[in-house]
Amino acid sequence: MKVWVKLLIGSILGITIGFLLPENASVTSVFQWLEKLAIGMGRYAVVPVLVFSLTIAVYELRLDDQFWPMVFKNILVIIGVSVFVIFSGIMVTLFFSPERIPIEKAEQLEVLSLETSANIMEIFPSNMFSVLAGGGIYLFPVCVFAFFLGMGLNYDRSYAKPVISLIDSLSRIFYHVASFFSEILGFILIVLSAYWAVRFNAILQAKVYKDLIVMLGIFSIVLCFAVLPLLLYFLRPKVNPWLILYGSLGPALAAFFSGDINFTIPVLQRHLKENFGIRRRSSALSLALFSTFCRCGSAMVAAAAFIVIIKSYSYLKIDTSDLLSIGLRALVISFLLARHPGDGAYIALAVLCLGYGGGEYRAGYLIIKPLAFYLAAIGAFIDVMLNAFGSYIIARTNGFYEEKNLVHFI
């Protein structure tokens, strides 16, 4: 059975269970525990598979003098799609203008921030091996470790040859370990989609966020199922964009119901290799850079929700300069969400609220808090689809791919 079919069946079963279950404290408590377990299982192999595959990718690209050109190409694509997604999302929000959200009594402000200075400090700890013993949440220090290790393998290949063989073997071994978890991901997704459905059912009954839910849902579908495939028509030689879209369904389902980027990395890496035929040297580098810096889907969702919050507090029209400021701030935030693989959209919204103008908007993100799981789902879904399409485009333009027949798709 295809992996995406397993994930679809698991999602349908979970949604059915979630809508049938009553919403009460005991059910929520059980699902919260099960969600932590499920997310932990999805992240279980992400650190070893990422560090060893990226190390070999850096070594092989350096060997062919293609490392820095590949890095710059990835960065240009990330910046380009980030600007497009965030500002198109803002324009769609203004055009459709979701209804105002009733302002309730503000709760106590939570201490939420990007912790940028602390994140930078963690990139270079006093012991570089300590990054491998982390919680599997903040992966950028792991990527930096793999970068320096891959660079070091090029210093003297006669001495490094045994180590290269070992790391290459470990990369392949942990790839198969991660593949095992992607095979059972359908069962894991039953839990995640059931908890998602329980919360979504409660939101539907409240009838407060209906317009925002519909707008974000339609925008994400149009972007990922129409705009992104359309961009592939400009590739030469020509490619069937719907084939690439079909090959991305598995990671898309995993991202939507988990709302977590790190949870999706192993299944996405497998789809990039076995569906798109992308070679490890390209897929590992693109996967690391996109997962770390291309979080524009989460930032766009936050910017759209923030505009709705502003309109809920005031009937005044938002100035063009303010819209530009929101877009630019969301763009910067999108590059700084590496520490927040599962709650990036809500963190980005809180940062936008806490740092915008007067104090009346500082607690604005609290009125969206019940919808945080949905914002995370849409944001992660867009982020992963951009990762899949971006990785394929970069690999194809550099020749790091092998055409795969549809019957061989997983």
Q: Which domains does the chain possess?
A: 3-408 (1.10.3860.10)
- The CA-atom distances, in angstroms, between 327 and each of 4, 165, 204 are 34, 46, 29
What burial letters (b/e) apply to 378-399, b meaning 16+ CB within 10 Å?
bbbbbbbbbbbbbbbbbbbebe
Tokens of 275: 């569906």
| DSSP string for residues in 267-335 | HHHHHHHHTT-B-HHHHHHHHHHHHHH--HHHHHHHHHHHHHHHHHH--SPPPHHHHHHHHHHHHHHHT
Q: Please report where in the chains the tokens 């698991």 appear, as a residue.
A: 10
Sign of the dihedral through C-alpha 396, 401, 405, 410: negative
Say what the pLDDT of residue 358 is: 59
As a whole number of angstroms, the distance between CA 84 and CA 392 comes to 19
Tokens of 252: 């898309």
As a whole number of angstroms, the distance between CA 258 and CA 271 comes to 17
CB 73 within 8 A of CB 394: yes
Say what the pLDDT of residue 73 is: 95
CB 68 within 8 A of CB 282: no
As a whole number of angstroms, the distance between CA 382 and CA 219 comes to 10
Cite the beta strand spans of 26-166 per DSSP E.
Answer: none
Distance of CA 33 to the CA centre of its chain: 22
Say what the pLDDT of residue 359 is: 61
Can you list the residues of the chain whose pLDDT is less than 70?
104-111, 316, 357-360
What burial letters (b/e) apply to 86-113, b meaning 16+ CB within 10 Å?
bbebbebbeeeebeebeeeeeeeeeebe
Say what the pLDDT of residue 74 is: 95
As a whole number of angstroms, the distance between CA 87 and CA 330 comes to 9
Looking at residue 225, the DSSP 8-state letter turns out to be I
Say what the pLDDT of residue 75 is: 96
